[in-house]
Amino acid sequence: MSDEEDVERGHPARMPEEKTSRGRVPEDLRSWVAGASLASAGITMALAVAIGAGLGLALDRWLKTTWMVIVGLLIGVAAGFRELFRAVALASREEERAEAERRNRGPGVGGQGPGTGDPE
């Protein structure tokens, strides 16, 4: 298999230097990265609520109270929503940056549009 075939298939070990430069995600993977970030925010939300409830329950048993589990749940929900909002803001900024890069490259550059053979 030639290097050109590897690049066309997206093989990361053989992609050109501009696509695999340190700290940059190739353009075709950006949407997957954003989706994974948002999916992990959902998992984080569930874990934050479970950890808050667990700590509240442990404090209830230790202090012989009945209200600490509610406080733990509320703190867990707040922490989960904070992480969710942070992940959505990060994905939004990443999408805006990618869109700005596409606009700055101009028509016909970047794999779509006039001059590339691809329909707009």
Structural domain includes residue 9: no
Residue 54 confidence (pLDDT): 95
Measure the CA–CA gap between 98 and 34, rounded to whole angstroms. Answer: 11
Residue 18 confidence (pLDDT): 46
Report the predicted TM-score, pTM, of the whole model to 2 decimal places: 0.57
How far, in whole angstroms, is CA 48 from its chain's centroid?
18
Structural domain includes residue 110: no
72, 57 in Cβ contact below 8 A?
yes
Domain region containing 87: 24-105
pLDDT > 70 in the chain, percent: 62
The tally of domains found in the chain comes to: 1
pLDDT > 90 in the chain, percent: 30
Angle at 6 between CA 101 and CA 106, to 5 degrees: 20
Structural domain includes residue 51: yes
